[in-house]
Structure 1
């Protein structure tokens, strides 16, 4: 078990206070959006060892079987299959989707063949992996996730009282679900001149008027003010608003349009940085590719709550790239003992914890993290909370 030194990404939408507040340090005035914990080549964590700080991807590359274990190595190859983050949003993130595995492999190959550099700003596929992800709120967290049904979309648009939106409402009420969502979403991403401004004004008025959709319009008004004139506002009106309380989670699969708006959370995903954006951003927008990847259906949003398994509370996910759990201990508890046949990363989010492993003890406060290689037992004592990222190999054991 080794302490980690992690990169903090200073994206413009990041909070200037949330991560410093969690870490117990003074803000420096700059946005701190994401802290990355993992071995992704864009920003690998440094493993702190007595002789040197080594990039985690290099540590794994040097001894993949020892670090990952046989099951993970056979299933995913010589790489850590997940990326763990602390995410602190103070402004809406881009409206985006992620590709599935087949789409990512094709897109990555096409952009390589076109000679587009991996760090080029107009690149969409930065690796050949899919990016299913899960977010778990540490405080009140708001976002958009998945399409409303066509009838729900039509009702929300009608509540704005704009004649300009009537043609879109008719399509939503008369066409089959997939056709209706595709047609209106595509049209909203290339709207006629002036429509975004008119809708933004109506959204602002609706946000200040009591009614059945007021809470939703308040969130959309936040988006409109953060991204004036951006057609992503129109597309966002078609997405469900989601509000998570502390400890509640959300899983996002391939092709699901979404945008986080504000809040502090733990986020885990397959080890990928593939993002297809269509609005609410100053970064590269690839509308055509996004429309090819997005799923035009409207299943209900499922808010995840953890399932107890020994001292852990596990957040269920329908993928095998990662397994996320929460561990909470007090001084009165017996030590929580974590055994696994896969590597794991642990990050403290509350309190003060003592972690004991084969290489010695580590003390963690909020924001502190460690990496443990496959097969290494970690004993947790103290009074606090941490989140554990690993891979369910089918032979993991969690003991009290």
Structure 2
């Protein structure tokens, strides 16, 4: 059981306040802080703090896979940590993106390796051979575009914009209001020649402005339309703005989760969240970014089935303050532990899942962890690595209330 120092990633869409404030550092930060990686991904592994030195978690696992990972994790995933835990802070929209299935990732990685495309090449799609299911849990209100909306509702939205230039596209989807119609319309929009896109987008944005100026009782899609206007301003001339019209617009309140399996087109828009995923960095982008967009490859991996009810509420373990976010992903599980002091410490077991390694992240208050004779204090923003060989771990609040997230093998 050791303190774990995350690897900070600075991207332009990140926040200068959210992660720094959570971790108790001065705000604003010098650069936009987008993600704090807590895991053993080769691109940026976290570090174990041992006395006055630090050791890469990746190196520690490589040196002692049996002790760090345990037999169950090794049997399923070999000598690598199968999950990556993150803090994610979006001040601006992330790129519109999807992730491949396990089969697609293996094939794509092998294909690009055979083609000799360097791993750090900006046109590389597959940086490893793993799929990337992911679960995000909001710490603040968290705004998301996630999965294709029911096509009947999308037809209703497009008609409400009252843009004549949309009529043919509306007819395309209305005539086949299913995944095939969504595929046809998305493919048409994402491959529009620049002159056609430049002519269509301003008309749609003008329709959005008119829509928001209408009677409040007729603005059922106000949130979706406001999002399109915001993206149109930030990414002028980007086909991803058109694609956003086809996606579910979701708001997660603190504690609510969103699970995204392979192929679901999505974009995180704004907010602070805990995210856990398979230990992969494979991203196929569809717009809202200056980075590489490989449209044919994106179309190969996208799932055009409408995504319904994407928000996930955690389920409480009986007689315990532990809340579990259920997903089908075998690489990870995520649980939240809401602790209270009540005038005295009440230890809670964090070994409620199957044996194996885990990462604990304190997101509110402060806690004391105990494993055998060893104790470890976590303040808000601190994380701990629990090796498979460590004795059973309990957590107790050191403040009136505290919150702890636990990521483990699924």
TM bucket (normalised to shorter chain) is over 0.9
Kept in 1, the 8 Å contact 2:143–2:252? The answer is yes
Q: Secondary structure at the match of 1:389?
A: strand
The two structures have a TM-score, normalised by structure 1, of 0.95
> CA shift at 1:227, angstroms?
1.4
2:352 equivalent to 1:336: no
**What is the match of residue 379 of structure 2?**
365
More off after superposition, 130-139 vs 324-333 = 324-333
Q: Could you tell me which residue of structure 2 aligns to residue 251 of structure 1?
A: 259
What's the offset of the Cα at 1:128? Answer: 0.1
The reply to whether residue 317 of structure 1 matches residue 327 of structure 2 is: yes
Within 5 Å, give how 1:320-399 maps onto structure 2: 320-332=330-342, 334-339=346-351, 340-358=354-372, 360-376=374-390, 377-382=392-397, 383=399, 384-392=402-410
Instruction: Give runs of aligned pairs for residues 1-400 of structure 1, distance below 5 A.
Output: 1-26=1-26, 27-50=28-51, 52-175=53-176, 177-191=178-192, 192=196, 193-209=198-214, 210=216, 211-309=219-317, 310-332=320-342, 334-339=346-351, 340-358=354-372, 360-376=374-390, 377-382=392-397, 383=399, 384-392=402-410
Q: Provide the alpha-carbon RMSD of the alignment.
A: 1.5
Residue 397 of structure 1 is matched in structure 2 by none
**Equivalent pair of 1:341/1:375 in contact (CA under 8 Å):** no
| Kept in 2: contact 1:207–1:221 (CA 8 A) | no
Alpha-carbon separation, structure 2, partners of 1:22 and 1:149? 37
Secondary structure (helix, strand or coil) at the match of 2:68 reads helix
Once residues 203 and 20 of structure 1 are traced to their aligned partners in structure 2, the CA distance between those partners, rounded to angstroms, is 36
- Whole-angstrom distance in 2 between the partners of 1:300 and 1:165: 25
- In structure 2, relative to structure 1, the CA distance for the partners of 1:207 and 1:127 (3 Å cut) is farther
Q: State the secondary structure of the residue aligned to 1:69.
A: helix
> What is the Cα deviation at residue 176 of structure 1?
5.2
- Residue 204 (structure 1) shift: 3.8
Aligned residues: 392
Show structure 2 runs of 5+ residues with no match: none
- Structure 1 residue 375: Cα displacement: 4.2
Whether contact under 8 Å (2:100, 2:132) holds in the other structure is: yes
- Matched-pair contact (CA < 8 Å) for 2:140–2:271: yes
Deviates more, 1:225-234 or 1:320-329: 225-234
Q: 1:194 is paired with a residue of what secondary structure?
A: helix
Shift of 1:200: 2.6
- C-alpha separation in 1, matches of 2:43 and 2:213: 43
Give the C-alpha shift of residue 205 in structure 1.
4.0
2:152·2:177 contact (CA, 8 Å) conserved in 1? no
Q: Is the 8 A contact 1:146 1:301 kept in 2?
A: no
Cα 1:360–1:174, aligned 2, differ >3 Å: closer, same or farther? same
Q: Which runs of 4+ in 1 moved over 4 A?
A: none
Where 2:243 maps in the other structure, the secondary structure is helix
Task: Look up the SS of the partner of 1:124 in the other structure.
Answer: coil
